């Protein structure tokens, strides 16, 4: 790693707790292969440090900055974007029962996975259609848990009378509104605290480089 290289600050993502800012250094390198006499093709080593928590992450890419149209921003988008995939796995396990299979056969396991994936796609579509905003701070964002609970209430009340069914709908709707308001309040508090901490370090998150396109205001 070049010791004289100045770290570049990037706003790598926006979470429900506010913007995350990391200091980035990078350098081209070669990886050692299984054959000691040979080395790999040229790679890019990225060292990222969170300006608030001092957490350090290391990434190695087989793409080189400035070659074949790849920029440092592109590599950071891939590196930090993978955590959204991890979030999908977590939601599938916690909310949709992805890890709750009790079977041994290869075909049975795949059937369970197919049903879980289709359930996740359905919930994601409903969530996308009914949430006018992607920001928790807006107080209008549906979570995967809320969509799953709403579907459960609908299925559980199919054989009830219309009056009882609508009563359950209203109870669930009020419960979801309560959690949305609470989540929005918590998000606004976290965002305010984080932005204040960044300003105390002399960092304006709206004036530094951003890996992802900035979201328009609600």
**Tens of pLDDT, residues 159-196:** 999 999 999 999 999 999 999 899 889 999 999 999 99
**CA 24/CA 76 separation, integer angstroms:** 9
As a whole number, mean pLDDT of residues 104-112 equals 85
DSSP classification of residue 217: P
Cβ 24 vs Cβ 211: under 8 Å: no
**CA 115/CA 111 separation, integer angstroms:** 6
pLDDT value for 218: 45
The strand pairing partners of 57, in sequence order, are 48
pLDDT tens for 21-75 read 999 999 998 877 766 666 668 899 999 999 999 999 999 998 999 888 899 999 9
For the whole model, what pTM was predicted? 0.76
Which of 4-13, 71-80, 130-139, 182-191 has the weakest average pLDDT?
A: 130-139
Helices 162-200 and 144-156 cross at an angle (nearest 10°) of: 170
**CA 79/CA 7 separation, integer angstroms:** 17
End-to-end CA distance of the chain: 41
More confident residue, 64 or 87: 64
Cβ 46 vs Cβ 75: under 8 Å: yes
Secondary structure E strands in the chain: 8-15, 18-32, 39-50, 56-61, 209-210
In three-state secondary structure terms, 3 is coil
* pLDDT cut 90: percent of the chain above it: 48
Q: How many CB atoms lie within 10 A of CB 187?
A: 20
pLDDT value for 104: 78
């Amino acid at each position: 790693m070049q010791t004289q290289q100045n770290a570049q600050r990037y706003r790598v993502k926006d979470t429900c707790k506010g913007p995350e800012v990391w200091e980035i250094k990078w350098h081209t390198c070669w990886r050692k292969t299984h054959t000691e006499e040979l080395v790999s093709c040229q790679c890019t080593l990225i060292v990222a440090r969170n300006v608030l928590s001092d957490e350090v992450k290391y990434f190695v890419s087989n793409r080189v900055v400035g070659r074949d149209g790849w920029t440092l921003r592109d590599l950071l988008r891939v590196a930090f974007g993978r955590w959204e995939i991890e979030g999908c796995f977590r939601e599938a396990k916690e909310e949709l029962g992805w890890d709750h299979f009790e079977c041994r056969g290869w075909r049975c396991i795949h059937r369970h996975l197919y049903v879980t994936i289709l359930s996740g796609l359905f919930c994601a579509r409903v969530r996308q259609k009914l949430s006018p905003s992607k920001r928790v701070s807006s107080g209008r964002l549906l979570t995967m848990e809320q969509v799953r609970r709403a579907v459960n209430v609908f299925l559980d009340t199919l054989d009830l009378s219309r009056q009882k069914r609508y009563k359950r709908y209203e109870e669930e709707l009020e419960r979801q509104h309560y959690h949305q308001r609470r989540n929005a309040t918590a998000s606004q508090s976290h965002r305010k605290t984080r932005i204040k901490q960044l300003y105390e370090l002399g960092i304006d998150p709206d004036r530094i480089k951003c890996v992802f396109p900035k979201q328009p205001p609600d």
